[in-house]
Amino acid sequence: MALVSIRSVNKVYDGNVHAVKDVSLEVRDKEFMVFVGPSGCGKTTTLRMVAGLESITSGDILIGDTVVNNLPPMDRDIAMVFQNYALYPHMSVFHNMAFGLKMRKFEKPEIDKRVRDAAAILGIETLLDRKPRQLSGGQRQRVALGRAIVRHPQVFLFDEPLSNLDAKLRVQMRVELKKLHERLGTTAIYVTHDQVEAMTLGDRVVVMKDGIVQQVGEPLELYNSPANKFVAGFIGSPAMNFADVTLAESDGKLWAEAQGLRISIPGEMARRANGRNGAHATLGIRPEDIHLAGPADPADLCFDAEVEVIEQLGSEIVLDTRVGKSAFVASVDPNLRMKVHDRLKLAMNPARLHLFDAGSEAAI
């Protein structure tokens, strides 16, 4: 039993910087929960409050059934992996991993067994006598993980643990972290600014911005039904296209209109947007949901675009196009041949259209 409940938690620094605003969420037992958002969104502060490294201005944090608001970090039964690893530079790998057990007065044979088990899991048995400075970034990362897992804590806390690794190693460690979590099944909270890490690692993902939780959900839920324009733009790469449109009713249909663009809004969404005739809104569509128009595509989902940049990625072509005053990015079939300044007819997948309120930016 190790669920983490965060209930109406606020953090105010020096009486004026409101870093975390009324955050409430539940991390379920054995769940891998990812906090994601741009820097300064309050995700790390929230994590540090769970760890006990920051005080809570108001609200409650529970680990299991215990309110831990005023418990020091050592009594919360958590382990944390820091962004810069925070390995003790004067201790060998063995002693780095053993330190927490030693402080908790474990017997020598037990310490030895646990450290060697963790080292075996992480493939660092041969490094136990080395000092941190003799290790590569990836090895240090493993030691930091090892230090966390020897303790068998109730909750793992990760503070951007992969951000100091190079791109290739990051992908590799991401996979290993996922495997490790499946093997240990410990509840984990993982903070990152990288939406790819969030999507690939998280059982569920919390998107934060300006100290406020924007949406909590499974990765695909965030991807398919973002709650607002921020989540829509933050999750997914290349990012979702947005166009400022005016909604207009005619011929019994609802149209999203902008210069060079006139798209009919499909039935269900049109019903939700009922009564917005003449209102401004933001139309959203992901690059992969735009394709080169064919004879089967109805005219009310097509638009003309001028190619500005062609990015050939091998598996796909990413086109930067201009449509009136809006820019649209489309990812299309890699076998197509085209040139810059070509005029193309593109079509949107109606099931994948998004519409956001122009003021509140909430999904319609």
Partner 1 sequence: MAVTAVSGSVARPIPRLRRMEDERWLAFALLVPTAVLLGLFIAYPFVEGVLLSLNSTRVGIKGEFVGLKNFDKVWNDSIFRTSVWNTFWYTGVTTVFKLALGLWLAILLNRHFRGKALVRAFILLPFIIPTVLSTFAWKWMFDPTFSVINWTLFQLGFITQRINWLGDPDLAMTSIIIVNVWRGVPFFAISLLAGLQTISPELQEAAAIDGARPWQRFWHVTWPLLLPVTMVVVLFSVIQTFADFQLVYVMTGGGPANATHLFATYAYQLGIGTGLLSEGAAVSLAMFPFLFLIVVVQLLYIRRVETR
Q: Which residues bind partner 1 (CB under 8 A)?
A: 51-53, 72-74, 78-80, 82-84, 86-90, 99-100, 103-104, 147, 151
Strand order across the beta sheet in which 290-292 lies: 290-292, 343-348, 302-312, 317-323, 326-332
Between 59 and 73, CB nearer to partner 1: 73
- Looking at beta carbons only, is 74 or 340 nearer to partner 1? 74
Residue type, 264: S
By the 8 A CB rule, do 5 and 26 touch? yes
Shortest separation between residue 198's beta carbon and partner 1, angstroms: 23
Query: Which residues are within 8 A (CB) of 28 and not within 5 positions of it... i.e. 6 or more apart?
Result: 3, 187
Secondary structure letter of residue 363 according to DSSP: B
- CA 47 to each of CA 16, 156, 157, 160: distance values in angstroms, whole numbers, following the listed order: 20, 10, 7, 11
For Cα atoms 88, 93, 95, give the angle at the middle one, nearest 5 degrees: 70
Whole-number Å distance between alpha carbons of 228 and 149: 37
Q: How far is the CB of 17 from partner 1 (least distance, A)?
A: 15
Minimum gap (Å) between residue 43 Cβ and partner 1: 17
- Considering beta carbons, is residue 119 or 330 the nearer one to partner 1? 119
Q: How far apart, in Å, do the first and last CA atoms of the chain sit?
A: 38
Nearer to partner 1, 147 or 209 (CB): 147
Least Cβ distance, residue 156 to partner 1 (angstroms)? 11
Minimal distance in Å, beta carbon 50 to partner 1?
A: 11
Q: Which is nearer to partner 1, 141 or 214 (CB)?
A: 141
Could you give the residue ranges of the DSSP H alpha helices within 75-107?
93-103
Q: Which is nearer to partner 1, 89 or 252 (CB)?
A: 89
- What minimum distance in Å lies between the beta carbon of 190 and partner 1? 16
